[in-house]
């Protein structure tokens, strides 16, 4: 019974460690907010900047998996090239070694669990603060406390279960395995990390086992586990890319190639490599009495060596990955930039949603040309062709509204800053209004279709001129709306431009309605024809209202 309780406690301790890591990472992500997005998107001008960016971001948020999933997301959203992504991934592998150094320095020497309660006392007022920045700092403090509390309980549970004896017995049975034992530990490290999906947690366990001084479990065996973790951690990005576009899949595959290749190369020179690390820690760092430093140094040296070895071949890696995964033709119905597999970093996922909203606006704008073509189509076959295109695009906007809204709702379930939550609210309003614009376009086409079937009398030249002018005003409004959606630096001037166009549309609609009533009363054309004409003009005016609503939502009005 005691064994079962200890085993459950071990699993619970690991869960507490993972929760602390996740909370700490999310707190930092929210605190950085747009700054973190901008760093990843902008500081990747070349492969060397990309590596430095990957190191900095991963060291900051303490999760190479989070950084890699961000990279896959950015490649999926078209914000980063594959070459830039490979550079950031290389840096992320180096940045993640900071966790091992922190644990090596204080994790098993200082009772951090004893400091957890005082840290909670510091974090509580910050967590309940109304300011999102303070709240994010409080979450980081909480996450840090949970992380080291979990690490402490993990060590206690492992001691109660006599994990050291179990591992020692296992190693005794493999004593004659030689290099086969090293390979086995690489595989075990990869499998455990794939299951846990957190290399930091697996590294913490490895450091804990190494600190127990188990007979037969030295640096070479522990380092093999650490190398296996580098392979296992690639599964997170791979899962994230499964429902993404080809470029995102390539980024995930590049991550896997980079890590597997590094393990294979280091295995060839494994024993000299371990000896070199031991010499460095003993003679250069003068920390030969700290075995944990040797393992942390190996972890860092391995990733540095791998990066230095391959950074000059990034372009060749890209070509190889592109040959393995050729580009597939995109279907227009499919969302371009977002997918359910990319939700691991909720705070950063709205980048994809914003890109997708811009695509939705672009498709709505395309429909204005279809309506124009339908208006001037002389043959029924030409009209039906355009009307079917309008119907098709209207269905696309319907599907996009549902998929983007569902995506945003899933993102909103994550731990988000108040600013990001407000952004999601505005974005949900935008997709709703854009879908209404698609409906309005379809109603314009349907009005023309009903007119062709029920009123053989052609529109007068004056009516056609007015309908054309109204479409031009609507096109201008849509164009300005797209400018607002694509411009990061919004201003009140942009809103004024949209309001000015909307005023013109409203004024022109009133003039057309008055002229139409007068023309019908004077018998210039039939009431039925005037009704279709008035419906068309009114629908354009309603469409303009939806456009201004999108602009207001984007500007936070």
Among residues 242, 266, 191, 460, the alpha carbon closest in space to that of 344 is found at 242
Tell me which of 388 and 232 has the higher pLDDT.
388
Q: How many residues are there in the chain?
A: 557
Q: How confident is the model at residue 31 (pLDDT cuts 50, 70, 90)?
A: low
DSSP string, 292-337: HHHHHHHHHHHHHHHHHHHGGGHHHHHHHHHHHSPPPPPPTTS-SS
Question: 37 φ, ψ to 5°?
Answer: -60, -45
Distance CA 338, CA 402 (A): 13
pLDDT at 204: 78
pLDDT at 343: 46
How high is the mean pLDDT of the chain?
80
Look at residue 330 and tell me whether its pLDDT is greater than 90.
no
pLDDT at 344: 46
Q: How confident is the model at residue 467 (pLDDT cuts 50, 70, 90)?
A: very high
* CATH architecture label of 349-554: Up-down Bundle (1.20)
Question: 279 φ, ψ to 5°?
Answer: -65, -40
Least confident of 175-179, 372-376, 470-474, 496-500: 175-179
Angle at Cα 474 formed by Cα 469 and Cα 477, nearest 5°?
130
Look at residue 424 and tell me whether its pLDDT is greater than 70.
yes
Question: 116 φ, ψ to 5°?
Answer: -65, -45
Distance CA 210, CA 397 (A): 57
Q: 550, 434 in Cβ contact below 8 A?
A: yes
Question: Which ranges of 33-131 does DSSP label H, i.e. alpha helix?
Answer: 34-42, 47-61, 64-76, 82-95, 97-102, 112-127
Segment 480-492 mean pLDDT: 77
Distance CA 432, CA 135 (A): 31
Q: How confident is the model at residue 407 (pLDDT cuts 50, 70, 90)?
A: confident
Q: 68, 237 in Cβ contact below 8 A?
A: yes
Angle at Cα 102 formed by Cα 98 and Cα 103, nearest 5°?
120
Look at residue 42 and tell me whether its pLDDT is greater than 60.
no
Q: How confident is the model at residue 91 (pLDDT cuts 50, 70, 90)?
A: confident
Q: How confident is the model at residue 342 (pLDDT cuts 50, 70, 90)?
A: very low
pLDDT at 182: 87
What are the pLDDT digits (tens) for 244-298?
A: 667 778 888 888 888 899 999 999 999 999 999 889 888 888 766 677 888 888 9
Segment 490-510 mean pLDDT: 84
Please state the separation of Cα 419 from the chain's center in Å.
17
pLDDT at 341: 46
The residues, any chain, with a CB within 8 Å of residue 441's CB and separated by 6 or more, are: 364, 367, 368, 370, 371, 390, 393, 394, 543
pLDDT at 1: 63
How far from each other are the two terminal CA atoms of the chain, in whole angstroms? 62
Look at residue 347 and tell me whether its pLDDT is greater than 70.
no
Look at residue 331 and tell me whether its pLDDT is greater than 50.
no
The domain spans of the chain are 2-324, 349-554
- Within a 10 A sphere around the Cβ of 379, how many other Cβ atoms? 8
Look at residue 106 and tell me whether its pLDDT is greater than 90.
no
Among residues 397, 375, 386, the alpha carbon closest in space to that of 539 is found at 375
Distance CA 330, CA 3 (A): 55
- Within a 10 A sphere around the Cβ of 262, how many other Cβ atoms? 22
pLDDT at 73: 66
Q: What is the DSSP letter of 280?
A: I
Report the share of the chain in percent with pLDDT over 90.
25
pLDDT at 174: 59
Give me Rg for the CA atoms of the chain.
30
pLDDT at 442: 95
The residues, any chain, with a CB within 8 Å of residue 350's CB and separated by 6 or more, are: 408, 411, 420, 423, 424, 427
Task: Identify the three-state secondary structure at position 124.
Answer: helix
pLDDT at 370: 94
What are the pLDDT digits (tens) for 159-170?
A: 676 665 666 566
Tell me which of 443 and 487 has the higher pLDDT.
443
The token duo for 506 is 């409203």
Look at residue 490 and tell me whether its pLDDT is greater than 80.
no
Distance CA 528, CA 510 (A): 19
pLDDT at 376: 92
Please state the separation of Cα 151 from the chain's center in Å.
29
The token duo for 243 is 């429902």
pLDDT at 338: 67
Among residues 29, 30, 25, the alpha carbon closest in space to that of 96 is found at 25
The residues, any chain, with a CB within 8 Å of residue 72's CB and separated by 6 or more, are: 85, 237, 240, 241, 244, 248, 251, 252, 342
Please state the separation of Cα 119 from the chain's center in Å.
31
Segment 60-83 mean pLDDT: 70
pLDDT at 194: 79
Look at residue 4 and tell me whether its pLDDT is greater than 90.
no
Among residues 217, 236, 233, 228, the alpha carbon closest in space to that of 188 is found at 228
Among residues 295, 296, 230, the alpha carbon closest in space to that of 64 is found at 230
Distance CA 65, CA 81 (A): 19
Structure pTM? 0.61
Look at residue 443 and tell me whether its pLDDT is greater than 90.
yes
pLDDT at 433: 94
Residue with the two structure tokens 């005003």: 473
Distance CA 344, CA 22 (A): 10
What are the pLDDT digits (tens) for 174-233?
A: 555 578 888 888 988 888 887 776 677 778 778 877 877 777 778 888 889 889 888 888
Please state the separation of Cα 146 from the chain's center in Å.
25
């Amino acid at each position: 019974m005691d064994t079962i309780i200890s085993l459950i406690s071990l699993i619970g301790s690991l869960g507490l460690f993972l929760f602390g890591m996740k909370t700490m990472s999310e707190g930092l992500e929210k605190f950085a907010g747009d700054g973190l997005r901008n760093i990843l998107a902008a500081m990747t001008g070349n492969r060397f900047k990309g590596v430095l960016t990957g190191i900095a971001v991963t060291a900051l948020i303490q999760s190479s998996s989070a950084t890699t999933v961000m990279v896959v997301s950015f490649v999926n959203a078209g914000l980063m090239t594959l070459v830039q992504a490979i550079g950031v991934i290389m840096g992320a592998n180096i940045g993640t070694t900071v966790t091992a150094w922190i644990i090596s320095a204080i994790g098993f020497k200082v009772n951090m669990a004893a400091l957890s309660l005082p840290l909670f006392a510091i974090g509580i007022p910050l967590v309940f603060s109304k300011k999102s920045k303070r709240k994010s700092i409080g979450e980081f403090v909480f996450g840090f406390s949970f992380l080291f509390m979990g690490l402490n309980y993990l060590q206690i549970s492992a001691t109660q279960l006599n994990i050291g004896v179990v591992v020692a017995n296992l190693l005794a049975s493999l004593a004659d395995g030689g290099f086969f034992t090293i390979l086995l530990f690489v595989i075990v490290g990869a499998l455990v990390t794939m299951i846990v999906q957190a290399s930091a947690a697996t590294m913490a366990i490895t450091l804990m086992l190494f600190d127990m001084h188990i007979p037969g479990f030295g640096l070479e065996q522990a380092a093999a586990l650490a190398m296996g973790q580098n392979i296992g951690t690639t599964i997170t990005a791979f899962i994230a890319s499964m429902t993404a576009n080809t470029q995102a899949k390539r980024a995930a595959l590049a991550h896997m190639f980079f890590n597997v290749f590094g393990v294979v190369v280091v295995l060839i020179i494994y024993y000299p490599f371990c000896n070199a690390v031991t010499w460095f820690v003993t003679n250069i760092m003068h920390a030969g009495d700290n075995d944990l430093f040797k393992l942390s140094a190996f972890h860092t040296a391995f990733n540095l060596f791998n990066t230095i070895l391959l950074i000059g071949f990034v372009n060749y890696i890209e070509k190889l990955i592109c040959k393995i995964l050729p580009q597939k033709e995109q279907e227009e119905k499919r969302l371009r930039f977002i997918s359910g597999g990319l939700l691991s970093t909720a705070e950063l996922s709205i980048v994809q949603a914003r890109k997708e909203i811009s695509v939705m606006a672009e498709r709505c704008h395309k429909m204005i040309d279809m309506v124009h073509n339908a208006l001037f189509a002389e043959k029924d076959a030409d009209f039906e062709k355009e009307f079917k295109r309008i119907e098709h695009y209207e269905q696309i906007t319907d599907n996009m509204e549902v998929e983007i809204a569902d995506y945003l709702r899933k993102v909103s379930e994550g731990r988000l800053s108040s600013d990001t939550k407000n952004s999601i609210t505005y974005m949900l309003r935008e997709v709703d209004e854009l879908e209404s614009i698609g409906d309005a376009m379809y109603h314009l086409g349907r009005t023309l279709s009903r007119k062709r079937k029920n009123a053989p009398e052609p529109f007068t030249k004056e009516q056609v001129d007015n309908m054309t002018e109204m479409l031009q005003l609507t096109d201008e409004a849509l164009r300005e709306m797209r400018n607002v959606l694509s411009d990061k630096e919004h201003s009140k001037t942009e809103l004024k431009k949209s309001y000015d166009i909307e005023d013109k549309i409203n004024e022109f609609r009133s003039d057309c309605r008055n002229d139409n009533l007068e023309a019908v009363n004077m018998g210039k054309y039939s009431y039925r024809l005037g009704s279709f004409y008035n419906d068309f003009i009114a629908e354009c005016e309603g469409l303009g209202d939806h456009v201004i609503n999108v602009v207001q939502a984007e500007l936070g009005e």
